Structure 1
Amino acid sequence: MAIFDYIMILMPFLCFLFLFHWSWKRISPITNWPIVGMLPGLLCKAPHIHEYATQVLKQSGGTFWFKGPWFANMDFLVTCDPMNVRYISSKNFANYRKGPEFKKLFEPFGDGVLTSDSDSWKSFRKLIHSLIKHRKFQLFQERSMRQKVSQGLFPVLDHVSRLGTELDLQDVFQRFTFDNTCLLVLGFDPNCLSVDLPEVASRRAFDKVEEAVFYRHMVPEFIWRIQKWLNIGEEKKLSGAMETLDCFLYQCISLKQEEFRRHRDQIEQVDEEKDEDFDLLTVCMAEKLEEEEEEEKGIGGNLHMDAYKKSERYLRDIAFNFTAAGKDTVNAALTWLFWLIITHPSVEKKILEEIKENLQAKEGGDWRFFNVEELGKLVYLHAAICETLRLYPSVPFNQRVSIQPDTLPSGHRIDANTKVMVSLYSMGGMEEVWGDDCLEFRPERWINEQGGIIHVPSYKFIAFNTGPRSCLGQDLTFFQMKTIATAILWNYRIQMVEGHPISPCLSVMLHMKHGLKVRVSKRSDV
């Protein structure tokens, strides 16, 4: 190849580097440059990407066209307009799929529920629904929460309280939910949450996967493709993380299969009240056994899905998707909730008064586990959780792709195969949606005159998504968050470490970049 050919190939990339360097402090939020589009502005604002997106959407009336480099296929429509969200997620749901582009970005998730469309997605959703509504699973998750609080959370907080040392509360929540989710999904407790706070490779590997997936959203595909080919940068980290995770998951699956085979004869005789584990892998294996029996009887099904279910990869994808989703949505929300409570003493006082009044908690007495019905009485705490998720949704953005050309309620015309990004984070900061005090943490906005929770349409409060893909685990999330919040707030005083910075990190989940550093002391003033 001649030197001229090399120059022609490198020229667009060199232009991009020059403009990116030149525009670092000069670029306006929505400048559309020749060749490189709006990507330089996006990269400049990357450390504050969610605030940047909110600012741009406010300037654009809630919906905005992002133009990427002409060679990178990065154009997309971003919106936080509730009417657009309702239309995309519900009214014209069939026209907006995850699509092949989403599956490429979330490659580590395989063919699981988070990346699937159509029949396979329906099959996964049916499985989730049957599991969550099953009495044995509900008993199992209540028992696992009780054990993890008493045997994991309390010993750690007591230890730190005695020593008077700083503690990263986000790390504690991540350990708690990772242990609990692994138990509910895999039937295995990694015991991350213990006094010595051990380093567990599989937990860190999940974090690296999320960071790498977010990186793929931020750069042209050819860049991360080259990095993957050369095994460098974020793709090298992703490769190492996936090797660690697949080893962990397949080992858990193998152990669960052996256990399942030993108890196979007992599967059909389910005692609803028997105190035993009822994890997702066990349910999946029982389902596979039932379908194999139906197949022998000549009952047909989806051939592609049936073949997939027979593979080890099916169990691996299920385990990966549900562990990744379950471990992070709750801990991210808990971290922001406690930061907001700590920095709003009046809210903390009202929550403590509500616990004392409604749960008959005794001052100075031992903490006990509250069931779903008891926790349902904590209206103000419920409102505080809703307000937290409004301002800091655990999943800050969602992506779809159009199948056919369409026109959104906002009047924006989109072509087939157009990427549409919904900014859940930005919607919480829109005055048109939540009023002039939208940036304030005010749980009272969720409580009506009768003292109950105000119903807000799910396309406006979209922390749990809306439409057919709405989260089936919403009740489970509130139960877990209320259990942990009441346990900590009633027994311990949490104070922020002075000067500790708070900002979101760059990830597909809304974690805190620097964690949540606090000091813990036993509470004696309730």
Structure 2
Amino acid sequence: MVMLTISLAMAVTLILTLFLYAFHQTKSLKTPAFTNWPFIGMLPQFLWNISHIHEYSAILLKSKGGTIEFIGPWFTKMVGLITSDPINVHHIMSKKFDNFVKGDSFREVFEPFGEGIFTTDSHKWKYNRTLLQFLFKQRSFEAFQEKIIHNKVEKSLIPLLNHVQQQKGSVVDLQDVFNRFTFDNICLIILGHDPNCLSIDFPEVAAEKAFNQAEESIFYRHTVPPFVWRLQSWLQIGEEKKMTEACKIFDQFLFSCIASKREELKKNGKNNEIEAESDETHRVDLLTALIREEQKYKNSESSGDKFLRDAVFNLFVAGRDTITSSLTWLFYLVATHPLVEAKILEEIKENFGHKEKPWMLNVDEVKKLVYLHGAICEALRLFPPIPFERKEAVTPDILPSGHHVYPKKMILFSLYAMGRDKDIWGEDYLEFKPERWISERGGIVYAPSYKFFSFNAGPRTCLGRDLAFIQVKMIAASILWNFGVHVVDVNQVTPNLSIVLLTKHGLKVKIAKR
């Protein structure tokens, strides 16, 4: 017994010594190090650089040819591969699509997502995608979204920014404004319910706060060995307790909305009507459309409150956070690049300068704003809303880079690193340059999805890509034409640590009337 205790003490001492030495080495190196230490693997340098992990990963991947293998402490079974190589992306996402899945480990980490389009594989994923694609392609859905955005911008966003600019010297967190705007907007589009997050008094809405917390907790699960967060979940302590409480609050909100919608449709006698050819039938929120599909076909794949809850949660992630991120980084980049701002305003003036302020452009009008489209693409390239994607192989394979992958071995794509790769984007890869996306004839330049990965690639390419561009253009054009946005402290604007790439300290700005 004594000998066992001594052996354990020596082992712990050895591991701690290695940790301290590895940290010291990592701290003293000017270039990224990725050493596989005995017992502790590559975890020390990962933890040391966690506060700026996206930038660290980009520099590291660049120095290693675009792909590296990660090995964690021996007792954690943390083994994976990180890549930013477009050829690997094309291989995994398109050429060998059926051999690469999200997998059970992914679904466990992203537990709050349930069995929605982002977490499922095989027939469940295909069913979710087919259903949502059908709903998005309804003739009146684009008009429905346009109407909601118009109303929210006109009645909430513009009045709030007007109020801010009237308070001399007042500073507002534009990221918080966008967070609130998009939460209201997505609630209206999906649930037909307006929680009124965006108002002058900046109210605290429990569901919105809970949704944000759930996402932060999911990212935490990526930063520690699985046994750590599993133990915390079992004991209900730390970040896992926060996730449980947040999910409970948000689920109560969703299930309440589902129950109310069912009751509303039942009361109105519309849940048994089948009017598939009527435009008016689909001029409704997505939850109503989902319930109508459920009633028409009685398909077990798409029936029940749990299915609706999972579908709605995934739509929230797709249509809320990505738009908040896109708008936040777009305004940060435009505000810090006056020449780009001037060109956007010139394009708006040339096309719509005759309109009286304040105004909102419609879907067809924003399609004319090619330079603004290029600026949005640049923001998405430099600051992708989802900074990493995750897959695993079904059967062993060899990637084009020569790396072997096996079942259960985690594969991470660094979208952040891909957007800052000289081999993909050229010598000016760090420049914010909307012209990169505009052809000599004045059209929009197409970039393959395995290089411009912000909307995913292959069969899983984002269904809402075009809708997202329309939404961001409508909001951005309205704000830029009516207000000047000035960032208070550029040095404070850094990426956060979450599954969605937002700014760590918000985007503090001053608003001026044009």
TM-score > 0.5 by shorter chain: yes
Question: Is structure 2 residue 342 aligned with structure 1 residue 338?
Answer: no
Q: Residue 402 of structure 1 corresponds to which residue in structure 2?
A: 393
Shift of 1:430: 0.8
Q: Secondary structure at the match of 1:78?
A: strand
User: What is the CA–CA distance in structure 1 between the aligned matches of 2:195 and 2:4, rounded to whole Å?
Assistant: 54
Correspondence for 2:284 among 265, 273, 278: 278
Shift of 1:201: 1.1
Query: Aligned AA for 1:278?
Result: V
Q: Percent identity?
A: 49
8 Å CA contact retained: 2:361, 2:478: no
Larger CA deviation: 336-345 vs 308-317: 308-317
User: What is the CA–CA distance in structure 2 between the aligned matches of 1:14 and 1:222, rounded to whole Å?
Assistant: 21
Which structure 2 residues correspond to residues 13-92 of structure 1 after superposition, within 5 A? Answer: 17-27=16-26, 29-92=33-96
Shift of 1:314: 0.8
Q: Residue 194 of structure 1 corresponds to which residue in structure 2?
A: 199
8 Å CA contact retained: 1:404, 1:417: no
Structure 1 residues 485 and 38, CA, compared in 2 at 3 Å: closer, same or farther? same
Question: Is structure 2 residue 274 aligned with structure 1 residue 268?
Answer: yes
User: What is the CA–CA distance in structure 2 between the aligned matches of 1:23 and 1:434, rounded to whole Å?
Assistant: 34
Q: Residue 315 of structure 1 corresponds to which residue in structure 2?
A: 308
User: What is the CA–CA distance in structure 2 between the aligned matches of 1:8 and 1:436, rounded to whole Å?
Assistant: 55
Q: Residues 28-49 of structure 1, C-alpha deviation per residue, up to 9 Å, x if partnerless?
A: 5202111111011111100000
Which structure 2 residues correspond to residues 74-473 of structure 1 after superposition, within 5 A? Answer: 74-164=78-168, 165-265=170-270, 267-269=273-275, 272-274=278-280, 277-292=283-298, 306-307=299-300, 309-362=302-355, 365-473=356-464
User: What is the CA–CA distance in structure 1 between the aligned matches of 2:302 and 2:3, rounded to whole Å?
Assistant: 52
Question: Is structure 2 residue 474 aligned with structure 1 residue 486?
Answer: no
8 Å CA contact retained: 1:109, 1:317: yes
Shift of 1:290: 1.4
Pairwise CA RMSD: 1.9
8 Å CA contact retained: 1:136, 1:272: no
Q: Secondary structure at the match of 2:69?
A: strand
Query: Aligned AA for 1:426?
Result: A
8 Å CA contact retained: 1:166, 1:518: yes
Shift of 1:145: 0.3
Structure 1 residues 24 and 274, CA, compared in 2 at 3 Å: closer, same or farther? same
Shift of 1:415: 2.2
Shift of 1:12: 6.5
Query: Aligned AA for 1:467?
Result: G
User: What is the CA–CA distance in structure 1 between the aligned matches of 2:140 and 2:10, rounded to whole Å?
Assistant: 62
8 Å CA contact retained: 1:502, 1:512: yes
User: What is the CA–CA distance in structure 2 between the aligned matches of 1:349 and 1:251, rounded to whole Å?
Assistant: 46
Structure 1 residues 80 and 10, CA, compared in 2 at 3 Å: closer, same or farther? farther
User: What is the CA–CA distance in structure 2 between the aligned matches of 1:275 and 1:494, rounded to whole Å?
Assistant: 40
Q: Residues 485-520 of structure 1, C-alpha deviation per residue, up to 9 Å, x if partnerless?
A: 111000001111136501111100001000000000
Query: Aligned AA for 1:415?
Result: Y
User: What is the CA–CA distance in structure 1 between the aligned matches of 2:193 and 2:226, rounded to whole Å?
Assistant: 36
Q: Secondary structure at the match of 1:509?
A: coil
Q: Secondary structure at the match of 2:374?
A: helix
Shift of 1:441: 0.5
Larger CA deviation: 475-484 vs 312-321: 312-321
User: What is the CA–CA distance in structure 1 between the aligned matches of 2:119 and 2:142, rounded to whole Å?
Assistant: 26
8 Å CA contact retained: 1:12, 1:35: no
Q: Residues 376-417 of structure 1, C-alpha deviation per residue, up to 9 Å, x if partnerless?
A: 110000000001101110000000000111111111122233
Shift of 1:78: 0.7
Q: Residue 510 of structure 2 corresponds to which residue in structure 1?
A: 519
Query: Aligned AA for 1:341?
Result: V
User: What is the CA–CA distance in structure 2 between the aligned matches of 1:187 and 1:8, rounded to whole Å?
Assistant: 63
How many residue pairs match? The answer is 507
Structure 1 residues 347 and 309, CA, compared in 2 at 3 Å: closer, same or farther? same
Q: Residues 93-115 of structure 1, C-alpha deviation per residue, up to 9 Å, x if partnerless?
A: 00000000100110111111110
- TM-score when normalising by structure 1: 0.92
Shift of 1:10: 8.2
Structure 2 residue ranges without an equivalent (≥5): none
Query: Aligned AA for 1:248?
Result: F
Q: Residues 4-60 of structure 1, C-alpha deviation per residue, up to 9 Å, x if partnerless?
A: 778877877765555444433422520211111101111110000001111111111
Structure 1 residues 32 and 495, CA, compared in 2 at 3 Å: closer, same or farther? same
8 Å CA contact retained: 1:47, 1:506: yes
8 Å CA contact retained: 2:374, 2:437: yes
Shift of 1:475: 0.6
8 Å CA contact retained: 2:138, 2:282: no
User: What is the CA–CA distance in structure 2 between the aligned matches of 1:314 and 1:21, rounded to whole Å?
Assistant: 48
Larger CA deviation: 441-450 vs 311-320: 311-320
8 Å CA contact retained: 2:274, 2:296: no
User: What is the CA–CA distance in structure 1 between the aligned matches of 2:289 and 2:6, rounded to whole Å?
Assistant: 58
User: What is the CA–CA distance in structure 2 between the aligned matches of 1:440 and 1:453, rounded to whole Å?
Assistant: 18
8 Å CA contact retained: 2:19, 2:40: no
User: What is the CA–CA distance in structure 2 between the aligned matches of 1:3 and 1:311, rounded to whole Å?
Assistant: 59
User: What is the CA–CA distance in structure 1 between the aligned matches of 2:442 and 2:74, rounded to whole Å?
Assistant: 54
User: What is the CA–CA distance in structure 2 between the aligned matches of 1:93 and 1:25, rounded to whole Å?
Assistant: 42
8 Å CA contact retained: 1:19, 1:40: no
Query: Aligned AA for 2:487?
Result: M
Query: Aligned AA for 2:389?
Result: N
Query: Aligned AA for 1:345?
Result: P
Shift of 1:270: 5.8
Shift of 1:280: 1.5
User: What is the CA–CA distance in structure 2 between the aligned matches of 1:84 and 1:214, rounded to whole Å?
Assistant: 24
User: What is the CA–CA distance in structure 1 between the aligned matches of 2:407 and 2:63, rounded to whole Å?
Assistant: 26
User: What is the CA–CA distance in structure 2 between the aligned matches of 1:131 and 1:19, rounded to whole Å?
Assistant: 55
User: What is the CA–CA distance in structure 2 between the aligned matches of 1:6 and 1:212, rounded to whole Å?
Assistant: 36
Shift of 1:275: 9.5
Query: Aligned AA for 1:218?
Result: T
Which structure 2 residues correspond to residues 500-515 of structure 1 after superposition, within 5 A? Answer: 501-515=492-506
Q: Secondary structure at the match of 1:76?
A: strand
Structure 1 residues 198 and 405, CA, compared in 2 at 3 Å: closer, same or farther? same
Query: Aligned AA for 1:373?
Result: D
